[in-house]
């Protein structure tokens, strides 16, 4: 490969005053472009080189401009106000990965929320009430991003990412090898849920 920029997102997010936006599909990209044009400061639009599917629920979604939003919840039906069993949060192309992982987890009767988080900076500017409505603190949360996991501890309990340099191979092969695929995400998510369960205590 020409380069392996696993550290670029973390580096960009560390720059004061810079909005870093990584859209999940074409719809989010349109909103991100409009927001960047209206913003008084600099914005870095981090776009995929590969074709990405257009996702249901992203077109005209005001949550894109708020930095993160609930894209969908899959699994057993829930009463209004019920929290999901798990949250998967991602940016860019990994939102699609999380959607497929969520479907697999739902087969085990888990209710899984998928959150698209294109811009940390915009989400930081939201009030605590909105932040909690998207990422409830009491729900185990797994972040997924094809980059260094540095910084995700602010928003998630665990992260699937790339904390090493990659390899030379077809893109899909490399991502699978590095764990950026639905099977591995579902596996890590299940382990996170298992670890979050209170340990059984034997009565004397």
CATH number of the domain within which 136 lies: 3.40.50.920
pLDDT of residue 1: 46
Domain interval for residue 161: 8-196
Q: Is residue 74 part of a domain?
A: yes
Residue reference for tokens 């990405």: 52
Q: Is residue 202 part of a domain?
A: no
Burial class (CB in 10 A: 0-12, 13-18, 19+), 84: buried
Q: Is residue 192 part of a domain?
A: yes
Q: Is residue 163 part of a domain?
A: yes
* Nearest 10 degrees: Cα torsion 82, 88, 90, 92: -90
Intra-chain end-to-end CA distance of the chain, in Å = 60
Query: Domain count of the chain?
Result: 1
Q: Is residue 201 part of a domain?
A: no
Q: Is residue 128 part of a domain?
A: yes
Contact yes or no for 160/142 (Cβ under 8 A): yes
Contact yes or no for 196/176 (Cβ under 8 A): no
Q: Does pTM top 0.85 for this prediction?
A: yes
Q: Is residue 69 part of a domain?
A: yes
CA dist., res. 36 & res. 141, Å (int): 28
CA dist., res. 154 & res. 54, Å (int): 28
Per-residue pLDDT of the chain (204 residues; tens, 9 = 90+): 456 778 999 999 999 999 999 999 999 999 999 999 999 999 999 998 888 999 999 999 999 999 999 999 999 987 778 999 999 999 999 999 999 999 999 999 999 999 999 999 999 999 999 999 999 999 999 999 999 999 999 999 999 988 877 666 656 666 776 667 999 999 999 999 999 876 554 555
Q: Is residue 134 part of a domain?
A: yes
């Amino acid at each position: 490969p020409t380069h392996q920029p696993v550290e670029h997102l973390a580096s960009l997010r560390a720059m004061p005053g810079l909005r870093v936006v990584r859209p999940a599909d074409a719809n989010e990209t349109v909103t991100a472009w409009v927001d960047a044009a209206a913003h008084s400061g600099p914005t870095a639009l981090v776009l995929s080189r590969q074709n990405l599917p257009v996702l249901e629920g992203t077109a005209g979604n005001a949550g894109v401009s708020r930095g993160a939003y609930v894209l969908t919840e899959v699994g057993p039906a829930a009463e209004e106000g019920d929290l999901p069993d798990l949250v998967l949060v991602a940016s860019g192309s990994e939102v699609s990965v999380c959607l497929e992982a969520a479907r697999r987890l739902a087969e085990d009767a888990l209710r899984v929320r998928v959150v698209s988080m294109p811009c940390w900076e915009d989400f930081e500017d939201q009030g605590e009430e909105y932040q909690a409505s998207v990422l409830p603190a009491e729900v185990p949360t797994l972040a997924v991003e094809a980059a260094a996991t540095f910084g995700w501890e602010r928003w998630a309990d665990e992260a699937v990412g790339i904390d090493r340099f990659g390899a030379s191979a077809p893109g899909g092969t490399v991502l699978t090898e590095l764990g950026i695929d639905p099977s591995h995400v579902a596996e890590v998510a299940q382990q996170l849920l298992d670890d979050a369960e209170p340990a059984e205590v034997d009565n004397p």
